[in-house]
Structure 1
Amino acid sequence: MLGCVIHGPGDLRVEELPVPQPGPGEALVAVRYGGVCGSDLHYWRHGGVGDFLLKEPMLLGHEVVGTVVAYGSPDASAPAPGTAVAVHPATPCGVCPECADGRRHVCRDTRYLGSAARFPHVQGGFAARIVVPAGQLRPLPEGLELRRAALAEPLSVALHAVRRSGAVSGRHVLVTGSGPIGCLVVAAARAAGAARITVTDLLPAALEYARLAGADTVVRADDPADAGWPSEYEVDVAVEASGAAAGLDTCLRLVRRGGVVVQLGMLPPGPTPFAGNLVVSREIELRGALRFDTEFDEALRLLAAEPAFDGLVSAVVPVTETESAFALAADRGRSCKVLLDFGA
């Protein structure tokens, strides 16, 4: 079978790999689509994501959907072979203080598909066949096709970030960065009842995807004279989705006194200067948002109900052309979400 293995910065290979066999409690899944995530691009370009650096070759990918092939042992409660499923990429330990506190998404010993956060690395889902714990499978709701379902993982990230923002119903939400995650934050905020959503980015094409996702106002981040910029303190909630220090600075300066800023984008490794005095003088709440937990099931329901999400998938590329797919996904002037197609 074919799989996408990262060996180091710029060294991404489509390799022939042996088909894995499921053990007890595990499922063999035929992957159909895999979404190229920003973290996959970081591994490809830089050999790491934030402080998580590659130490060995790793199968990339954690946004995967496909069909159940078989189980290593009978499991009457699991989706039957032939069922279309989305794969929840996280396996929390279930025993650490965070898991016990109901915050499994920040489990200190979690396993996450295609992640170098631990060693040996957790191999990912960009392969024609993968083995995962049966408990990570989610059957698709009626009417949801695999192509749109491939957005479930990034939409879950966005839903969790909006949840971390607190109540957004009737409020003005600012999103800095209109990459795939930023656009899905827009959709999640809209679903949560936000009254107005403003999005900033440097690229006009990326802002058009944000508008498609439901943004009311889009603003060029490098043009302070743009009429779409909110007046000072007007924003109630700001979600930083660009992973750039400048985006965090914008959020802190435009959120109202007592407002909430959620840092969702992964900032570059090392210290990041930020306007900390504003956090104090305006009593801004600065919160982090990492991954998700139960939001995955919510994401599948939302995707099933809203065909407009299809417009955020800008390309589907055969796995044999993985390098071209990654180059396209890295060019936000030409794409939003790019999917790899592993075939029937």
Structure 2
Amino acid sequence: MLGCVIHGQDDLRVDELKVPAPGPGQALVAVRYGGICGSDLHYWRHGGVGDFRLREPMLLGHEVVGTVLSYGDGASGPVAGTAVAVHPASPCGVCPECADGRPNVCRDTRYLGSAARFPHVQGGFAAQVVVPAEQLRPLPAGLGLRRAALAEPLSVALHAVRRAGDVRDRHVLVTGAGPIGCLVVAAAKAAGAAHVTATDLLPAALRYARAAGADTVVRADAPSDPGWPPEVDVAVEASGVAAGLNTCLGRVRRGGLVVQLGMLPQGPSPFAGNLVVSREIELRGAFRFDGEFDEALELLAAEPAFDGLVSSVVPVTEAETAFALAADRGRSCKVLLDFGV
């Protein structure tokens, strides 16, 4: 079978792999679609994500959906042939963070396609993968596999909005209108935000943000644009650059709240920390998700408009083309690899 394997910086290959067999507690899934995430792009272009560096070849991918094929000993779940999404995280369940009800920051978690530990946790970008059976989620009625491939990034967005607290009737600013930023827009609107403003440098990204439900879109490099709000109640930084965080800190009202969702570059990042003090702004991080995955599937099933955020579906045999397209935000939003070849 074919799998999309990163061997090092700028060394992405579609390799022939052995078909795996499910072990005890595992399920074998025929993958149909895999969404290319920003972290996948970082492994490809930079050989790592933040502090997580590649030390061996790794099967990429953690946004995968497909159908159940079989189970290993002692495992059970949706019957063979059921369409499922795969929750990519396996928290340890015993560390202080898990005991505190925060498994998304588990210190010993296993996450598909991650170099955070060694040996690396192999990902889901292959025609067939084995995963813990408890990670399978059957798709709600009416939700097809193509749209369901957005479940993992939408879960990230839902968690970020949850970290912002109650956004009902609030004005929310989202800096960065990549796939995650656009999904934060949708998540904020679903949570009852009265107005969502999205910013980005690229006109194409702003068009996707508008499709996701943004009430106002503005160019991040046009501070005189009349669309800029004088202040907002909540800001979610989804661009992963310090300039975006500074924008959030400068636009949120006194006593407001900023959620840092975008992964900033490795090492120190300068930002206007004085505003955190003088305006008593709350600054919170948001990392991955937990129960939001099931919520994401229900929201995707209820809202066909999410289809518009899937900009391209590319066969796995053309993986490098797909990655280049996903990296070009002037031409794409969410790009899916198709393993049904």
**TM-score, length of structure 1 as denominator length:** 0.98
Deviations 1:148-172 (CA, angstroms, capped at 9, x unpaired): 0000000000000000000100000
- The equivalent of 2:116 in structure 1 is 117
- The equivalent of 1:246 in structure 2 is 243
DSSP-derived class of the 2:21 partner: coil
5 Å-filtered alignment, 1:313-332, equals 313-332=310-329
> Which whole-Å CA distance do the structure 1 matches of 2:188 and 2:79 have between them?
34
5 Å-filtered alignment, 1:185-200, equals 185-200=184-199
Residue 117 (structure 1) shift: 0.6
- The equivalent of 1:156 in structure 2 is 155
DSSP-derived class of the 2:221 partner: coil
> Which whole-Å CA distance do the structure 2 matches of 1:258 and 1:163 have between them?
18
- The equivalent of 2:80 in structure 1 is 81
Deviations 1:6-58 (CA, angstroms, capped at 9, x unpaired): 01111000000001110111000000000000000000000000111101110
> Which whole-Å CA distance do the structure 2 matches of 1:316 and 1:73 have between them?
35
Residue 225 (structure 1) shift: 1.1
Q: List, as ranges, runs of 4+ consecutive aligned residues in structure 1 with deviation greater than 3 Å.
A: none
Residue 74 (structure 1) shift: 4.9
Letter in 2 for 1:180: P
> Which whole-Å CA distance do the structure 2 matches of 1:139 and 1:117 have between them?
28
**TM-score, length of structure 2 as denominator length:** 0.99
Residue 73 (structure 1) shift: 2.0
Please, what is the CA RMSD of the aligned residues? 0.7
Match of 1:271 among 265, 268, 272: 268
Residue 333 of structure 2 corresponds to residue 333 of structure 1:
no
> Which whole-Å CA distance do the structure 2 matches of 1:119 and 1:263 have between them?
27
Letter in 1 for 2:164: S
> Which whole-Å CA distance do the structure 2 matches of 1:311 and 1:127 have between them?
25
Q: How many residues align?
A: 341
> Which whole-Å CA distance do the structure 1 matches of 2:327 and 2:248 have between them?
24
Q: Is the CA contact (8 Å cut-off) linking 2:217 and 2:227 kept in structure 1? A: yes
Q: Is the CA contact (8 Å cut-off) linking 2:4 and 2:14 kept in structure 1? A: yes
> Which whole-Å CA distance do the structure 1 matches of 2:337 and 2:65 have between them?
11
DSSP-derived class of the 1:186 partner: helix
Match of 1:288 among 277, 285, 303: 285
> Which whole-Å CA distance do the structure 1 matches of 2:53 and 2:276 have between them?
31
> Which whole-Å CA distance do the structure 2 matches of 1:295 and 1:73 have between them?
29
Identity %, equivalent residues: 84
List gaps (5 residues or longer) in structure 2: none
> Which whole-Å CA distance do the structure 2 matches of 1:23 and 1:57 have between them?
22
- The equivalent of 1:143 in structure 2 is 142
List gaps (5 residues or longer) in structure 1: none
DSSP-derived class of the 1:121 partner: coil
